[in-house]
Structure formats: structure tokens, C-alpha cells
Amino acid sequence: METQHPKFGIEAAVAALLLTALVVMMTAQVVMRSGFGTTLSWLEEVIRIVFVWAVYASVLVAAIDDKHIRVALHITMLPHKAQLVVLAIADLCWIAFNSTLIYGACVYSLSLWQYPYRMPTTGLNLIWAFAIIPFAFLILSIRILVNIRRRARGELDMTDAQAEM
């Protein structure tokens, strides 16, 4: 029996909020630039930060149901047990990569905390732009582990993601 997994969670709500904020701010900037011949320079910096956060939040939403980009047609030709093993090994390698990235992003973020780099217009520390990176990759790694378990239990199948394409 296949259990239902929630399609929307906190990640989806945060991603939707960030994408909405991004569209509103970019629309305001375009209207101000085209309609009134002026811009808010601080808004450009805020848009960049929100864009980075929206991208990472959206990646987390895709990871909930294992819908990230993966070349896997050749894996579907393997027997089911072999598929599970190959995907688990690939996902564990991905988690190892994520761990390296988390470590490097934490070191860099902490250096920005210790030696702040301020954005010229807003005066915000650049750490607020980069803080999402270690957090998002940690959550992503947890989602990958959950998906390995879901695949082993038969709750998630390789063809689930491919059927929607």
C-alpha cells in the first residue's frame, strides 16, 4: 500500500512567499524605472537576496518528492533491487558533496559574521544573502535520506517523477 506524502509543507510555503515577494519587488522596480524614470537602489540589493533565497527554497520543494534533475533512464532498465542500491549509492555521494558544501558555506558565513562585508546601499551584512546555503543543503540532505528510506519501503518509485514529465 502506498502512503500519501504531503505535497506542500513549510518549504513550499516559504518558496511561494519568497517568489511572490520577488515578483512584487521586481514589478515595482520595472514600473518605477519605465514609468517614472527612477529606481530605488536599495531595492536592487534586496531583490538579489530574495532571489538567492527563493532559488534554494524552491530546490527544497523539488526534493520533497525526489523531483530534482537526474539522468535516470538507464537506471530504470535495472532490476528493482539494483535500482534501489544504485540510487542509494548516488544519493549518499550527493550527501557527501552536500556535507562538503555545508562545511565550506558555514566557514564562509562565519567569516562574514566575524568580518562583516556590508552591501553598499542597504548596509546589510552579506551573511544574510549566504546564510541560506548551509541551511538549505542541510535540509536537502535530510530530504535525500528520507527519500532513500521511502524508496526502500516502496513509497517512492523512480517512475513517479518520470510520469509527470
Of 12, 162, 165, the C-alpha closest to 83 is 162
Per-residue pLDDT for the chain (165 aa), expressed as one digit of tens each? 445 555 668 889 999 999 999 999 999 999 999 999 998 889 999 999 999 999 999 988 888 877 777 777 788 888 989 988 998 999 999 999 999 999 999 999 999 989 999 999 999 999 988 889 999 999 999 999 999 999 889 887 765 555 444
DSSP secondary structure letter of residue 73: T
- C-alpha 80, offset from chain centre: 28
First to last CA, the chain: 24
Q: How many CB atoms lie within 10 A of CB 123?
A: 10
